[in-house]
Amino acid sequence: MSLTKADINKQGWEDAEFPIVCETCLGDNPYVRMSKVPYGKECKTCQRPFTVFRWQPGSAMRFKKTEICQNCAKIKNVCQTCILDLQYGLPVQVRDQALGIKPDAPTTDINRQFHAQNMAHQVESGLIDPNTGNSAYDHVGNQDILQQLSRREPNYQRNRAHICSFFVRGECKRGASCPYRHEIPSTDKDLAKQNIRDRYRGINDPVAKKMLNKVKDFRPGLTPPEDKSVTTLFVTGLIDAITKEDLKTIHKLLDSLLPFHSGFFYAFGEVTSIILIQKSKCAFINYGSRASAELAAEKISEIGLTVKEKQLKVVWGKPKPKGPRPEQPQAPTDATKMTIPAPPSLKTKADRVEYASQDPTAKGSAS
User: Of 171, 197, 223, which residue constitutes the final position of a domain?
Assistant: 197
Residue 342 lies in a domain: no
Q: Give the residue from 50, 127, 135 showing the smallest Cα distance to 86.
A: 135
Residue 333 lies in a domain: no
User: Of 147, 177, 197, which residue constitutes the final position of a domain?
Assistant: 197
Q: What is the CATH number of the domain that holds 240?
A: 3.30.70.330
Can you tell me the distance from the alpha carbon of 254 to that of 321, in angstroms, rounded to the nearest whole number?
35
Rounded to two decimals, the pTM is 0.57
What is the pLDDT confidence band of residue 205, given thresholds at 50, 70 and 90?
confident
DSSP-assigned letter for residue 190: G
Can you tell me the distance from the alpha carbon of 184 to that of 62, in angstroms, rounded to the nearest whole number?
18
Comparing 65-79, 109-123, 203-217, 275-289, the range with the smallest average pLDDT is 109-123
Structure-model confidence comparison of residues 269 and 102, the more confident one: 269
Same domain, 192 and 250: no
CA-based torsion, 330, 331, 336, 338: positive or negative: negative
Same domain, 155 and 34: yes
Same domain, 190 and 112: yes
Residue 282 lies in a domain: yes
Q: Give the residue from 262, 240, 243, 241 showing the smallest Cα distance to 251.
A: 262
Same domain, 59 and 138: yes
Can you tell me the distance from the alpha carbon of 85 to that of 22, in angstroms, rounded to the nearest whole number?
8
Residue 333: phi, psi to the nearest 5?
-80, 130
User: Of 197, 224, 242, which residue constitutes the final position of a domain?
Assistant: 197
Residue 41 lies in a domain: yes
Task: Tell me if residue 177 falls in helix, strand or coil.
Answer: helix
Q: Nearest 10 degrees: CA dihedral of 175, 180, 182, 186? A: -170
Same domain, 279 and 139: no
How many structural domains comprise the chain? 2
Same domain, 29 and 138: yes
Comparing 35-49, 237-251, 325-339, the range with the smallest average pLDDT is 325-339
Same domain, 178 and 300: no
Same domain, 100 and 243: no
Q: Give the residue from 103, 14, 25, 6 showing the smallest Cα distance to 51.
A: 14
Considering just the CA atoms, what is the radius of gyration of the chain in Å?
34
Same domain, 137 and 245: no
What is the pLDDT confidence band of residue 186, given thresholds at 50, 70 and 90?
confident
The residue range of the domain holding 307 is 232-316
Residue 109 lies in a domain: yes
Comparing 114-128, 129-143, 145-159, 271-285, the range with the smallest average pLDDT is 129-143
Helix, strand, coil percent content, the chain, rounded in steps of 5: 30, 15, 55
Same domain, 45 and 166: yes
Same domain, 183 and 260: no
Same domain, 189 and 289: no
Q: What digits encode the pLDDT tens for the residues 232-271?
A: 999 988 888 888 888 877 644 343 333 333 477 888 888 8
Residue 202 lies in a domain: no
Can you tell me the distance from the alpha carbon of 132 to that of 119, in angstroms, rounded to the nearest whole number?
14
Residue 224 lies in a domain: no
Residue 23 lies in a domain: yes
For residue 27, pLDDT over 80 is answered with yes
The DSSP bridge pattern shows strands 306-307 and 49-55 to be unpaired
How many other C-beta atoms can be found within 10 angstroms of the C-beta atom of residue 130? 13
